Amino acid sequence: MVTTSTDETVAHAGDNKAVSTEQGVPAAVRLVPVVLAGGAGSRLWPMSREQYPKQLIDVLGSESLLQATVQRMKGFNAQGRLVSTPIVVCGNEHRFVTSEQLRERGVEARIVVEPARRDTAPALTLAATTACADGEDAIVLVMPADHAIVDVAAFQAAIALAAQHAERGAIVALGVPPTRADTGFGYIKLGDEISGEAHRIERFVEKPAAEIAAQYVASGEYWWNSGIFVLRASVWLATLKRLQPAMYDACLQAQAQGYSDASFFRPGADAFSSSPADSIDYAVMEHLGSQQGIAEGVVVPLSAGWSDLGSWDAVWDALEKDADGNACRGRVVFEGATSSFAHSEKRLIACVGVTNVVVVETDDAVLVADRSRVQEVKIVVSRMRALQAPEAEVHRKVRRPWGYYDSVDHGERFQVKRIVVNPGGRLSLQRHHHRAEHWIVVSGTALVTRGDEEFLLSENQSTFIPLGVTHRLENPGKLPLELIEVQSGSYLGEDDIVRFDDTYGRA
């Protein structure tokens, strides 16, 4: 990836105001989707965990929220505006799963890996500098990776309108005309109407109390803030430089110090970590119109069945329901239940005579909650973290860049795992201080390194890895390798790994 100095990035970004067609007629400025995929989403526990967060789960259908988001602009060509390769900003711990999910959907993207969590404003700044790195000033479409859109055509129409205002230098927010007085969203007060249903932004309002929210909805002067924005990359950078100079300097320095690592771009860690943490709303949007010399704020309506899926109640609201108002996924039976939601990963859930209840079952945890109190799930997760409960951080099934493992059983001095290695996958060359391992191949072919030995194992064959012996597992075949690993020893934690070599650059 090509980078420029901080001054060059902004100075040259606006030089190319339009792309020329083959006939020499100026075409509309290209559009770059930017997907912010660095969140945790603890309100959707137990499906969403710290190591496998909300945007990576298939909470509504057969694809994850991230996969649905990156495909949302497919087929878009309003006013001849080209859609460029998307930029996805994610955390270091999620980079391999993010890359794999994009590959599954055939999506080519530029993945920018955040060295640390600094909220959405620094994440957008990394994306904006990436979009400007080739010297062209693109229009950036900023989308959280964990939202749902029912009507994609209506969404694209709203983006087309927003892009017209962004092209002339406005920072555009997509506002959702409210259907109820919801205290879970921020609100945008509408200013003067400009054109095509767009309004100037008078002000942003953070999540209000119930009585105030009801007044907003009744007035017809407020829309929900969707968290989706459309703007020129150079306009964002110039506005941020004016309003948040410390953040601007830190992010552009991180970009300049960054480097490519396989399919990822990794900004400079020390510089990025020095950036203040702040959201797009607080850092920039709430200041629009309050100071001279900064961009105009515009809001465009989004009537496309939008939901931020911020709680299990929002998931229930987004799903199809039966005659009694119940929604479910997986193996669920309702009997005399009303207005309830149940999600089963494997086991059968039977809901009898309950009202307004949420039940979510996973391999290692079950949530039962009143639908009116699902926002408190976040508090429960915080308590679990304080108790160092592993269920707050990881699933029983843990993804790795080479595949995944599932902890089937464990006791005081043993643990049983089901391990699946993708074709071509390769675990690190490693050893353990406190455990020995038995490997039994269920299907596929394993290439095993054990000390100075290297040998193949096929179905129904096994081997033993003594404590302290250097070893590695690889899948040289074209089909997934599945095996059962039985660990025994005095300590079986995942941190008992000394890596000597790793294909995926892990420490």
**Segment 99-132, tens digit of pLDDT:** 999 999 999 999 999 999 999 999 999 999 999 8
Are residues 198 and 332 part of one domain? no
Q: Which residue blocks in 71-137 are alpha helix, DSSP H?
A: 95-104, 120-132
Instruction: Note whether 66 and 56 are within 8 A (CB).
Output: yes
Are residues 284 and 179 part of one domain? yes
Identify the pLDDT of residue 88: 98
* Locus of tokens 């020893």: 489
Are residues 63 and 146 part of one domain? yes
Are residues 320 and 232 part of one domain? no
Looking at 287, 307, 327, the residue that finishes a domain is: 307
Are residues 425 and 282 part of one domain? no
Residue 369: partners with Cβ closer than 8 Å, 6 or more residues away: 312, 357, 358, 376, 377
Are residues 495 and 460 part of one domain? yes
Whichever domain contains 282, its CATH number is: 3.90.550.10
- Give a yes or no: residue 138 inside a domain: yes
- Give a yes or no: residue 349 inside a domain: yes
Identify the pLDDT of residue 24: 41
- Give a yes or no: residue 506 inside a domain: no
Say if strands 453-457 and 171-176 run parallel, antiparallel, or are unpaired.
Answer: unpaired
Are residues 363 and 297 part of one domain? no
Instruction: Note whether 371 and 312 are within 8 A (CB).
Output: yes
For 191, phi and psi rounded to 5 degrees?
-100, -150
Token digits of residue 422: 């993708």
Would you tell me the crossing angle of helices 6-13 and 233-243 to the nearest 10 degrees?
130
- Give a yes or no: residue 392 inside a domain: no
Domain count, the chain: 3
3-class DSSP assignment, residue 426: strand
For 273, phi and psi rounded to 5 degrees?
-65, -25
Looking at 336, 363, 386, the residue that finishes a domain is: 386
Looking at 256, 283, 307, the residue that finishes a domain is: 307
Are residues 378 and 347 part of one domain? yes
Identify the pLDDT of residue 262: 79
Token digits of residue 335: 């009997």
- Give a yes or no: residue 483 inside a domain: yes
Residue 204: partners with Cβ closer than 8 Å, 6 or more residues away: 186, 187, 188, 189, 225, 281, 285, 286
DSSP assignments along 433-449, one per residue: SSEEEEEEEEES-EEEE
Identify the pLDDT of residue 132: 87
Are residues 67 and 16 part of one domain? yes
- Give a yes or no: residue 507 inside a domain: no
Amino acid of residue 151: D
Instruction: Note whether 333 and 351 are within 8 A (CB).
Output: yes
Whichever domain contains 402, its CATH number is: 2.60.120.10
Identify the pLDDT of residue 260: 92
Task: Give residue 478's domain range.
Answer: 397-501
3-class DSSP assignment, residue 322: coil
Q: Closest by alpha carbon to 78, among 150, 142, 139?
A: 139
Kindly give the confidence (pLDDT) of every residue in the chain, 507 residues in length, as a single tens digit, with 9 standing for 90 and above.
333 344 554 544 444 444 333 344 345 689 999 999 988 778 999 999 999 999 999 999 899 999 999 999 998 987 778 899 999 999 999 999 999 999 999 999 999 999 999 999 999 999 999 998 777 899 999 999 999 999 999 999 999 999 999 999 999 999 999 999 988 899 999 999 998 789 999 999 888 999 999 999 999 999 999 999 999 999 999 999 999 999 999 999 999 999 998 789 999 999 999 999 999 999 999 998 766 678 899 999 999 999 999 999 999 999 999 999 999 999 999 999 999 999 999 999 999 999 999 999 999 999 999 999 999 999 999 999 999 999 999 999 999 999 999 999 999 999 999 999 999 999 999 999 999 999 999 999 999 999 999 999 999 999 999 999 999 999 999 999 999 999 999 999 989 999 999 998 887
- Give a yes or no: residue 391 inside a domain: no
Instruction: Note whether 30 and 83 are within 8 A (CB).
Output: yes
Q: Closest by alpha carbon to 69, among 315, 309, 298, 403?
A: 309
In angstroms, the CA 479 to CA 105 distance is: 19
Are residues 438 and 363 part of one domain? no
Identify the pLDDT of residue 7: 52
Are residues 159 and 92 part of one domain? yes
- Give a yes or no: residue 1 inside a domain: no
Are residues 204 and 177 part of one domain? yes
Amino acid of residue 257: Q
Q: Which residue blocks in 220-268 are alpha helix, DSSP H?
A: 233-243, 245-256
Region of residue 433 (left: phi > 0; alpha: psi -120 to 50; beta: else)? alpha
